[in-house]
Amino acid sequence: MNEKQRSIILSSSSRFPPPPGVRLSYGTAGFRADSLLLESTVFRVGILAALRSLNTHSVIGLMITASHNKVSDNGIKISDPSGGMLSQDWEPFADALANAPDSQHLAQLIDDFVKKENIPLEEAESAEILLGRDTRPSGESLLDAAKQGIISIVGAVAVDMGVLTTPQLHWMVRARNKAMKATELDYFNQLSSSFRCLIDLIPQGSAVNKMNDNVVVDGANGVGGEKLEVLKKILNGLDMEIRNSGKEGVLNEGVGADYVQKEKVAPRGFGPADAGIRCASLDGDADRLVYFSVLSNANNKIDLVDGDKILSLFALFIKEQLSTLNKNEGDKENKCYRPTLGVVQTAYANGASTDYLKQSGLEIMFTPTGVKYLHEKAAEYDIGIYFEANGHGTILFSEGFLHWLDGRNSELALTSKGSEQHKAAMRLLAVSKLINQAVGDALSGLLLVEAILKHMGWSIHRWNELYHDLPSKQLKVKVVDRSVIVTEKAETVVVRPLGIQEAINIETAKYPRGRCFVRPSGTEDVVRVYAEATTQEAADNLASSIARLVDQFLGFGNS
């Protein structure tokens, strides 16, 4: 880099010295820590985002959030040109930037990386970065640090999009790079119009559950609750009550999808009076969604409808529309196009959900744990659906399929307007616009769930009866070096140390419908154990016996 650029970086970075003794790592959640420790990191990620924009000649996004973490935490994550997560190739550079000990090391690191990647820094090309933050009190000062990092790269511009959900920012980045309108109002309008389209296409005589026609939503006292209040005003066809919208209460404290899914209890503001009502919960930055129904006289216990069941609902509906669309097309070999539909899960998906999806005739693929792996695999299909049990997931439609579908829809509008095939094509197009294809989005996911339930005429109880989860148990085994455990086949088989997988297989075979796997943690020195069986006692016993095996084979630590 030239002297002017080096001087700007040295001068601006001196205002944001890294906290001593703190080392951060960029992962699926970006950087996340106590907000008081993050100013230097956020400044440096601003630099990275500007370089990424120059490198890709695209708009990049920066979101300041700590999702479901406590309110005193914060974090920052990068949205790539597709609207998805930062390319894994850049994660080591992100780590190095965040942990550079001083301004001189930082400047040298940037200079070396710019040369290695041939980033046109000397030409002072323009770079544009969209910035968003959630409702955390620390967000505003961290946003300013990010802006300072961005503008320390000559030609880079920071565009403050205001307080947003994480999925909104990802959606805006994707839209901008597709030369589409990308304001918050455009986001709301696209969601509301595509939802309305699906409602209008509900079959006449559908047994819509009139008794539970409304949905009550827990907004986690975060940005999602605030945005739902706005969306509600322009929606037609949905009776929605929003609680924990952020006007009172503390972000993620006894509320939110993460709390509901892990604790399996109702969030604050919900109780026995809500028994039988369809309820949903968002997480702090509104990229996760779970449903639940409160049980009467059960100490706030709930029937949880998690991400696995959301995936199942979406998959059944998409499969039904594809079947209808391709009906009577079998003899038209030159015209008949059979799009590929795939469902992607990790080994943590409950075995009952996998069995149910297979029995429903769906193709299931597994990936290692992590949204980046799920998203990448889903993109290999014409329509790829992925969800984690925690409620994070989405549906991806390939550009080729959407081009074909648009043409098919136009053809059907001319030859058989209003036919079941035409309606199926319109529904699929509406789903592709309603769902956020950049990232998991609790707001768009909520609207799609509600539209499909109305289409099916299902109550939450009917939906929850699709299958019954197998009891499961998760444990952690402390180790000195988690890299000793090496896995393959989407983390379901241990290949090192030798002999441990055979021992796991022998132990698992003792339990009806037993399933177990172990994997090294991505963040701490532990080996994680997951077990399933037909009863909770059996699942607990299987997990404990496998934890002892891990301890035995690794030769140290306590389970």
Give the residue numbers annotated as catalytic, written as ranges.
Answer: 67
Query: Cα–Cα distance between 302 and 292 in angstroms, integer?
Result: 6
Q: Count helices and strands (H / E) in the chain.
A: 18, 19
Residue 49: CA count within 13 A, CB half-sphere: 36
Tell me the backbone φ, ψ of residue 492, rounded to 5 degrees: -95, -10
Coil, strand or helix: which one is 527?
Answer: strand
Instruction: Give the number of other CB atoms < 10 A from CB of residue 102.
Output: 12
Contact 128, 53 (CB under 8 A): yes
- Please, what sign has the CA dihedral across residues 253, 257, 261, 267? positive
Coil, strand or helix: which one is 32?
Answer: strand
Q: How many angstroms separate the Cα of 375 from the Cα of each of 294, 344, 443, 518?
A: 32, 8, 19, 23
- List, as one string, the DSSP characters of 230-268: HHHHH--S-EEEEES-SSSS-TTSS-SHHHHHHH-BPPT
Instruction: Give the number of other CB atoms < 10 A from CB of residue 108.
Output: 12
Instruction: Give the number of other CB atoms < 10 A from CB of residue 129.
Output: 28
Coil, strand or helix: which one is 96?
Answer: helix
Tell me the backbone φ, ψ of residue 450, rounded to 5 degrees: -65, -40
Query: Cα–Cα distance between 322 and 427 in angstroms, integer?
Result: 10
- List, as one string, the DSSP characters of 264-324: -BPPTT--GGGTTSEEEEE-TTS--EEEEEEPTTSTTBEEEE-HHHHHHHHHHHHHHHHHH
Query: Cα–Cα distance between 41 and 285 in angstroms, integer?
Result: 20
Query: Cα–Cα distance between 255 and 87 in angstroms, integer?
Result: 32
Instruction: Give the number of other CB atoms < 10 A from CB of residue 241.
Output: 12
Burial of 372 (0-12, 13-18, 19+ CB in 10 A): middle
Is the backbone peptide bond immediately before 272 cis, with ω within 30 degrees of 0?
no
Contact 250, 276 (CB under 8 A): no
Residue 420 structure tokens: 């079941």
What's the maximum distance between 2 C-alpha atoms anywhere in the chain? 72
